[in-house]
Structure 1
């Protein structure tokens, strides 16, 4: 038998003739359309050429006429008609310079009112009498411009007007139109003829010569387009062969496209046939394998996408297989169906012999005492008089009872004859257990100490469907009174409307919510209800909300008590801060007195023994002041009043000053002090210079204090972070006594030192390291310790800084350009209530004239009554009757007179808490000295401020 053709061959043989016909028709249509558009484009090109020629002639005539008219309106031309001397001297040169067109030979002439030529340029024109009469009549007679284009050439004339009347004429003549139009580019060959067919212009003289007759031109093989302009005819001439040549090139391009299109179609047809053949072959192999194999897994195509028709064929085949399977269902398959049943099944005949039983029934019998027949006999006896019954069985494996609900059904054949009975057993042990579990849960909820409610949000009004006993006890409402109603009945006038709205919104979007609101019991008493609402989903939909309620009235009262206690603690902290500020003032004042007396003694003649005693006293004063400063700093940190400032400073200068300061102390103890810098070029930074020096001073002071021999090394480096911020790393390493490992974890705690012997031997408050740690944290860093007992310690800390411009550094007031008069006695008013401090300040300023006052009132009185004008006022801040702040404000307000409106006022204060310096500035003070102060600082500030020439707007704190 002959082999049938392949699907691909059939597709190719069927589609190729149609493809050839389609390509032929498309080719003819494309060639026809292309030729049509080429001819149309040629016609449009010729029309554009004719229009361009007309525009060129119009432009030449109108533009030249305009230029002549501009010349005729020139005063030189007009005056020349009456000023013969000017005409003869200047116009010939002016005419020779005229160049109005691109023609090589142009003739100009100026005629008077009688038509006589008075001035010309290359005027050799031979004009017919008719043309000469025409321009004279039009221009000289009617005072209008005149133009003519003919075989005699191009002539344009304009009148020279004097008081609106033509007193002469300017005339331009070109012997041919050819010379005027020749320079312009052309789209096609162009011609201009007069009414008799005489050629005036030809863009291609080799094709048609100028001055020839157009009727002598053989126009076969040419496409001609013409248009009339005045008494002339304009032509566009283009060879027809050009259009055919363009059509030929277009045809070649189209032919190449068609050939490519044919190859693409052939390839697509071939690929389509191959794909169809492969798809059908795959489907065939799939069906074949499924029929011949036990594995019914369907083969997949190479592509994940299967055509709908193939899917339909596969689905129809699967349905056919399934139908055949159902029809030819064997006993084994029927048994499998029975085995898959969830219930136990046994079939007996009329003689009570077992015909069929599934595996679940057999497993059930294996879990019972006795044999299978005995168990079946027991079941049949119990169901002898009823169709169903629940029987209790004992499970051997679990040792518990099993509850099985048995159902008996008669087994009938196709004719309705009874052939036996079918027994089906459903094990309800788990359901019984579940029911028992539900009862336990219900009992647990009912006996729970937390109030529980359940509401049905699918019903109108969202009524309550369950409450437990705790709810009844909490609210006083019984189940009968609240079930079927909404919880709104427990709300009152004091219940927060906002909280109620939040609950409603949460329920509306089916979200849980936990909140506290004020509710009212049945007896009207109010209580704070902590409510937790949780949505309950059934089949993915929220149908109920379960709520847990708790009386938190006592908790609210406790929170209020804690809030009151917190406010009292904060008030206590404020009182503590105020007390410390007062104590600081009270302690610093006598310290200042002692320090001042010691400074005065130091300036007197003393024996070596007295100088030694004096140095001991100064050292004690510095130690006492250091302790006071530590306690004050700690109190500031504890009260949250210490703030880190952000100002530009030269960190290299600060480090060098600290090196100079501690080098003397190290030298006295025989210690070597080494400073190492790696600042990466960042000398000027933004940060708190005072607190940085305080941290490093604390660590250096401890290193010097606890090191008896060896050296101290200070290493400082700066790293630039990705965000351009700067991280300063500084370490202080010593060879001192070291710190034991078990004491290192508490070394930064408040009032903590390694042991009591340290305090007895070296002194100190134990606050320095604690303050340093908190300062580091306030500046964005940290501090850590590495130490070995007896081998020294290394304290390392980090702080965060920012880059700063060196130009932002504030200059020291000594270098501000103020010219001081050295040795000049100043008049200083000392406002100080403490007699000792008055004496000290006066002695420090013994080179100046001083006057003292004990209060702000006395200061105002002295300033008003004294004829002498004081150069500087030293103002104590804390004084009886009127303090320094109030006195300064009054001086600035003019109560001391016009001359003291801007007098320099320097604050003398023992306060050092947060805001003290700002209070001085706000009061109008110019500078600030904190007690105890050095005599050098006092003298320096007095001389500085007394030397400044001040105006009404100048006020600054240094």
Structure 2
């Protein structure tokens, strides 16, 4: 009997030692987990806070209680978190939303610290059940976004200031348009009258230079004002019935003197029969083509400039009009083909000194083409001339328009 008791005690002791060892390992493991949890909690840049359903703080990490203006965890435990809301109405709205959904993300809240200092916080809030107690709790993560909100406000203020400055600029240009043009038109008018008189050759040469320079200055003023209107999206398109052929003839007639002055040929050709009449914004369409042809003349020293016109019929009585303005000029580097359509830009900065101009013509042409539902682009290489393309849909007049057989549907704007 004694030997049996000894055996039982020995077994119990051995089991106790094994169980005690296992418990020590589990306790150590649990403490390590708790330490890791505290490490993650206390060093998390985002604040983490637990409250009961009434908003009483149960636990919080350093980032959470420090952003609220507390130095120790003990100072915030038991505090009603609702007292840190700036607006009772905002607090009630958040409570109602949380009650309905149980989860809120990305909520920007105007809060106040323990000393009353206001700040902005970004909250993610969820209602969860504590596995230890079985009670429902609220877990919230928070970040101080005061600096971000200040940056947003500064950006908004800067945006509003820029818009105000832009409006002031537009108003200034609108007001000054008359002031610019009146004296300049007076100079040009008096110069034209003087040139009608019998003048010595030297004086006539001087007046011709005044006329040329004045006309150039008037064009610059027109370009600046036009670009300002386009930038402000104030372009108004108006349609009228007109002949495409007459428009191309007028463009050639207007610029023939400029081409002849540089010993260049200038003309246009149609690869297909054009309709007799169309219904579109003649002034704007002509303006784009004038800019393209003028630009070609300016940068061409020898040879000539040619407008090649193609058209293809579309459904709904529309014409896909494609005009290619080719020249034998200096050409453009491939990497510059996109930038030349930006305002105040030329393919080569030295060109502005050699050829003059504001660098607005192509930018204006591109914006007008886009406003008309079309596009402008260029093909070129240095020393090999350039081809500037305009592609736009032009409405036709069904009762009086008869398309020729050469205008069968075909891709012209590909």
**TM-based fold match above 0.5:** yes
Question: What's the CA shift string for 1:224-279, capped at 9, x where partnerless?
Answer: xxxxxxxxxxxxxxxxxxxxxxxxxxxxxxxxxxxxxxxxxxxxxxxxxxxxxxxx
CA distance in 2, matches of 1:721, 1:440: 72
Corresponding position of 2:32: 436
Distance 1:531 1:608, change over 3 A: same
Maintained 8 Å contact 1:454/1:547: yes
Corresponding position of 1:389: 19
CA distance in 1, matches of 2:273, 2:336: 33
Corresponding position of 2:43: 447
Distance 1:405 1:730, change over 3 A: farther
The within-5 A match list for 1:529-678 is 529-533=121-125, 545-605=138-198, 614-638=207-231, 640=232, 642-650=234-242, 652=244, 653-668=246-261, 669-676=263-270
CA distance in 2, matches of 1:635, 1:549: 46
Give the 3-state SS of the residue equivalent to 2:14 in structure 1. Answer: coil
Corresponding position of 1:786: 379
Corresponding position of 2:328: 735
Question: What TM-score, normalized by structure 1, do the two folds share?
Answer: 0.36
Corresponding position of 2:84: 490
Give the 3-state SS of the residue equivalent to 2:163 in structure 1. Answer: helix
Question: What TM-score, normalized by structure 2, do the two folds share?
Answer: 0.76
CA distance in 2, matches of 1:705, 1:533: 67
Maintained 8 Å contact 1:453/1:467: yes
Corresponding position of 2:412: none
Distance 1:482 1:695, change over 3 A: same
Maintained 8 Å contact 1:719/1:727: yes
The CA deviation at 1:791 is 0.8
The CA deviation at 1:718 is 5.0
Maintained 8 Å contact 1:654/1:693: yes
1:795 to 383, 388, 412: 388
Distance 1:600 1:382, change over 3 A: farther
Corresponding position of 1:519: 111
Give the 3-state SS of the residue equivalent to 1:386 in structure 2. Answer: helix
The CA deviation at 1:593 is 1.0
5+ residue gaps, structure 2: 5-9, 401-414
The CA deviation at 1:538 is 9.6
The within-5 A match list for 1:10-409 is 384=14, 386=16, 388-389=18-19, 391=21
Corresponding position of 1:702: 295
Aligned length: 386
The CA deviation at 1:699 is 0.9
The CA deviation at 1:618 is 2.8
Distance 1:658 1:506, change over 3 A: farther
Maintained 8 Å contact 1:729/1:797: yes
5+ residue gaps, structure 1: 1-349, 351-379, 392-403, 407-427, 808-958
The CA deviation at 1:703 is 0.7
Give the 3-state SS of the residue equivalent to 2:19 in structure 1. Answer: strand
Give the 3-state SS of the residue equivalent to 2:191 in structure 1. Answer: helix
Distance 1:386 1:555, change over 3 A: closer
The CA deviation at 1:519 is 1.8
Q: Which has the higher contact order (CA 8 A, sep 6+)?
A: 2
Give the 3-state SS of the residue equivalent to 2:388 in structure 1. Answer: strand
CA distance in 2, matches of 1:574, 1:508: 46
My pick for the range that moved more, 717-726 or 729-738, is 717-726
Give the 3-state SS of the residue equivalent to 1:620 in structure 2. Answer: helix
CA distance in 2, matches of 1:437, 1:726: 76
The within-5 A match list for 1:793-872 is 793-799=386-392
CA distance in 2, matches of 1:487, 1:724: 70
Give the 3-state SS of the residue equivalent to 1:713 in structure 2. Answer: strand
Maintained 8 Å contact 2:288/2:365: yes
2:346 to 741, 753, 763: 753
Maintained 8 Å contact 1:496/1:517: no
CA distance in 1, matches of 2:321, 2:311: 5
Maintained 8 Å contact 1:733/1:794: yes
Maintained 8 Å contact 1:382/1:389: no
Question: What's the CA shift string for 1:894-944, capped at 9, x where partnerless?
Answer: xxxxxxxxxxxxxxxxxxxxxxxxxxxxxxxxxxxxxxxxxxxxxxxxxxx
Give the 3-state SS of the residue equivalent to 1:708 in structure 2. Answer: coil
Question: What's the CA shift string for 1:393-412, capped at 9, x where partnerless?
Answer: xxxxxxxxxxx679xxxxxx
Question: What's the CA shift string for 1:808-862, capped at 9, x where partnerless?
Answer: xxxxxxxxxxxxxxxxxxxxxxxxxxxxxxxxxxxxxxxxxxxxxxxxxxxxxxx
The CA deviation at 1:433 is 6.0
CA distance in 2, matches of 1:491, 1:749: 51
Give the 3-state SS of the residue equivalent to 1:747 in structure 2. Answer: helix
1:472 and 2:46 are equivalent in the alignment: no
The CA deviation at 1:702 is 1.0
Give the 3-state SS of the residue equivalent to 2:341 in structure 1. Answer: coil
Maintained 8 Å contact 1:781/1:797: yes
Maintained 8 Å contact 2:65/2:76: no
Give the 3-state SS of the residue equivalent to 1:675 in structure 2. Answer: strand
Give the 3-state SS of the residue equivalent to 1:739 in structure 2. Answer: coil
The CA deviation at 1:467 is 1.4
Query: Relative to total residues, which structure has the larger helix share, 1 or 2?
Result: 2
Distance 1:515 1:719, change over 3 A: farther
Maintained 8 Å contact 2:325/2:389: yes
Give the 3-state SS of the residue equivalent to 1:791 in structure 2. Answer: coil
Question: What's the CA shift string for 1:456-500, capped at 9, x where partnerless?
Answer: 5xxx536544311222222235645655665322224xx273575
Distance 1:447 1:749, change over 3 A: same
Maintained 8 Å contact 2:272/2:311: yes
Give the 3-state SS of the residue equivalent to 1:512 in structure 2. Answer: strand
Corresponding position of 1:684: 278
Maintained 8 Å contact 2:342/2:363: yes
Distance 1:756 1:555, change over 3 A: closer
The CA deviation at 1:701 is 0.1
CA distance in 2, matches of 1:507, 1:804: 65
CA distance in 1, matches of 2:276, 2:103: 56
